[in-house]
A and B are shown apart, each in its own frame.
Chain A
Amino acid sequence: MSAVAEAPIATAADARRAGGWLLVATAILLSVWVLLPIYLLIVNALSSPEQVTAFPKRFFPSFDVGSLSFFINFAGVARALWNSVLVATLTMILSIGFGAPAGYALSRFDFPGKGTFRFMVLMTRAFPLPLLALPLAVMFIRTGLDDTAIGLALVHTTLALPFAVLITFSLFSGIPVELEEAAWTLGCTRLQAFRKVILPLALPGIAASAVFAFTISWNEVFAAAVLTIENRTLTAFLLQSLGESPLYLKFAGGAALVVPALIFIFAVRKYLFAMWGIANR
């Protein structure tokens, strides 16, 4: 890159500098486009109920916790929050528990049927998966899984499992097989080699894909609304009370959904490419 920087004519350097400013300005503009709406929601969540429904609005929060405490104390919210966390945790465990072994197998072995399995995993992407909740609702009633956290977590796992497989696949592929072979020659069994050599190296990535599975479940609306009645998750609760709930409840609820998501995405930011970019090819 430095080789082309020595532009012989002054106008070329000027154009480059102008281009640089344009680039920075575009980056800032796009950042504002992303951040401003979130900021406005947070302003609402941190204002008193009266201020939220008042007009005109202030563009700065008054740091009144009235809306938030109304939200937390509203009948059903605490339970919905708990259900969301429970379902998301179960989804996380299931998708990593099923997905990581498959990812490891894909990265380390060549075997007949490998292509078919990969195809099936990739195919799940081409389907609107939340629709699965409709036929499963009936099956769950028959098996007693209806309106339970584990039932919903199973559906959310179909959403998260393909990601878990593909992320762990690219993760294990990035760890040289020679490390494992060295451990075998030193007398480790396959399992020991995996536990002592591969797992420590893969753990941060696995944790990131676990966080990602958690986020998928935390955010999912349609299946949650279809499959839960008493044990509603936060998204299902907010969706079903959209019609009657006051504005400040909606905004506080929205903030309760967004803030953990911001933290999750920040935690897994290094792995975003493995998850979306590379895993999709």
Chain B
Amino acid sequence: MHGKALPYLLLMPATLFLCVFFLYPFALVAFEAVTRDGAFTLDNFRTMAGSWKFPVTVRNTLLLAAIVVPIQLAVALLMASVVSRLETGRSAALYIFAIPLGISDLAAGLIWLAIFDQSGFLNTLLSGLGIVDRPIMFLGYQSKLTIFIAVALAEIWRATAIMMVILVAGMGLIPKEYYEAAEVFGAGPWKRFVRITLPLLRPSLQTAIILRVILAFEVFAVVAALGGTNLPVLMGETYNWQFTLQDRNVAAASALLILAISIGFTLFFLRVLRVPKEARI
């Protein structure tokens, strides 16, 4: 076997696989979205946007991302700072903080259902403390706000870990000398965080935010477990078009919309948090 051909041979299976199961399906979904019975049309998008649920769905999805992601960023920064500063119990803390990384979004939804359900732990606590007389229905169709809060909490709980791990790895790359120098010049912990950690963490912050924002638009099972159809989101509506309404062209249009939003935000964050080549560690 010759050296020149070997790398290509090794890459071939993965490349072929990604062509068939990644590039081709995306071409297919784009094609299905703009055609119906073989003819080009934008009707699928019109049908999608014309549904009475559509404005609510888009609003819920964007609002959820807008509220959840910044909180997660703050919590992940806090977790990463704690982990990188702990001297004893560092690996234990890291493992515990990373646990939700391995937990399915459906399981996360069920976990928070145990808390927010009418006979759940939150009601038990509230009535035990004498705050309420009888259990409140947090997740009923009339309580959209509490459903939203429950979904947001479940999302924050579940998906902060992914940002945390990326940020911990990023913090590990920042040279210790910078902090020591800053301390010599009298910079307090907060100042060191704002002036050293945050700027030097920018590449990791960028990755973490992009990854997390994309996942935020994919929110699906958490909502299904906690809100059912009371809190429609884009991914859930896509599922509905495919199954309940049996219209895969509109489902494809809906999928394309999620894609477009994801790519749009990816490009936005790539630009806003751009790191010049010379400024990388």
Query: Is the Cβ of A261 less than 8 Å from the Cβ of B119?
Result: no
* A239 interface contact, C-beta 8 A: yes
Query: Is the Cβ of A135 less than 8 Å from the Cβ of B32?
Result: yes
Name the interface residues of B147-188: CB closer than 8 Å to any CB of A.
Answer: 157, 162, 165-166, 168-170, 172, 176, 180, 183
Name the interface residues of B171-223: CB closer than 8 Å to any CB of A.
Answer: 172, 176, 180, 183, 189, 203-204, 207-208, 210-211, 214, 217-218, 220-221
What is the distance, in angstroms, from A139's C-beta to the closest C-beta of chain B? 7
Query: Is the Cβ of A128 less than 8 Å from the Cβ of B218?
Result: yes
> Which chain A residues lie closer than 8 Å to B211 at the CB level?
125, 280
* A183 interface contact, C-beta 8 A: no
Query: Is the Cβ of B221 less than 8 Å from the Cβ of A239?
Result: yes
* B73 interface contact, C-beta 8 A: no
> Which chain A residues lie closer than 8 Å to B135 at the CB level?
55
Query: Is the Cβ of A239 less than 8 Å from the Cβ of B224?
Result: yes
> Which chain B residues lie closer than 8 Å to A235 at the CB level?
104, 106, 221
Contacting chain A: which of B36-44, B46-54, B62-70, B109-117?
B109-117
Give A277 to B98 CA distance when docked, in angstroms. 12
Query: Is the Cβ of B32 less than 8 Å from the Cβ of A102?
Result: no
> Which chain B residues lie closer than 8 Å to A70 at the CB level?
none
Quick one: given A128-B259, A136-B25, A155-B21, are A102 and B11 in contact (CB under 8 Å)?
Answer: yes
Quick one: given A55-B119, A221-B221, are A131 and B13 in contact (CB under 8 Å)?
Answer: no
Query: Is the Cβ of B79 less than 8 Å from the Cβ of A126?
Result: no
* B82 interface contact, C-beta 8 A: yes
Query: Is the Cβ of A128 less than 8 Å from the Cβ of B18?
Result: no
Interface string of A269-280 (1 = CB under 8 A from B): 100110011101
Contacting chain B: which of A38-46, A73-81, A174-182, A196-204?
A38-46
* B145 interface contact, C-beta 8 A: no
Interface string of A36-63 (1 = CB under 8 A from B): 0110110110000000111111010000
* A242 interface contact, C-beta 8 A: yes
Query: Is the Cβ of A272 less than 8 Å from the Cβ of B110?
Result: no
The one of A19, A31, A56, A281 in contact with B207, judged by C-beta atoms closer than 8 angstroms, is A281
> Which chain B residues lie closer than 8 Å to A220 at the CB level?
104
Interface string of B99-134 (1 = CB under 8 A from A): 111111111001111110111110110011000000
* B272 interface contact, C-beta 8 A: no
Query: Is the Cβ of B11 less than 8 Å from the Cβ of A105?
Result: yes
Query: Is the Cβ of B210 less than 8 Å from the Cβ of A242?
Result: no
The one of A161, A253, A269, A276 in contact with B162, judged by C-beta atoms closer than 8 angstroms, is A276
Query: Is the Cβ of B26 less than 8 Å from the Cβ of A117?
Result: no
Query: Is the Cβ of B162 less than 8 Å from the Cβ of A261?
Result: no
Query: Is the Cβ of B99 less than 8 Å from the Cβ of A38?
Result: yes
The one of B103, B114, B228 in contact with A261, judged by C-beta atoms closer than 8 angstroms, is B103
* A27 interface contact, C-beta 8 A: yes
Give A56 to B6 CA distance when docked, in angstroms. 66
* B262 interface contact, C-beta 8 A: yes
Quick one: given A59-B121, A128-B262, A257-B106, are A276 and B21 in contact (CB under 8 Å)?
Answer: no
Interface string of B242-274 (1 = CB under 8 A from A): 110000100110010011001100100000000
Query: Is the Cβ of A134 less than 8 Å from the Cβ of B10?
Result: no
> Which chain A residues lie closer than 8 Å to B225 at the CB level?
242, 250
Give A250 to B108 CA distance when docked, in angstroms. 12
The one of B96, B258, B263 in contact with A31, judged by C-beta atoms closer than 8 angstroms, is B96
What is the distance, in angstroms, from A185's C-beta to the closest C-beta of chain B? 16
Q: List 25 A-B contacts (CB under 8 A).
A: A27-B89, A37-B112, A43-B114, A104-B10, A109-B7, A120-B22, A127-B259, A132-B25, A135-B25, A157-B21, A219-B104, A219-B106, A221-B106, A222-B220, A222-B221, A222-B239, A242-B224, A258-B103, A258-B111, A261-B102, A261-B107, A276-B101, A276-B162, A277-B165, A277-B172
Other contacts beyond A126-B214, A128-B217: 12, CB < 8 A: A23-B82, A41-B110, A55-B119, A128-B235, A136-B25, A165-B14, A215-B102, A258-B104, A258-B111, A265-B102, A272-B98, A276-B165
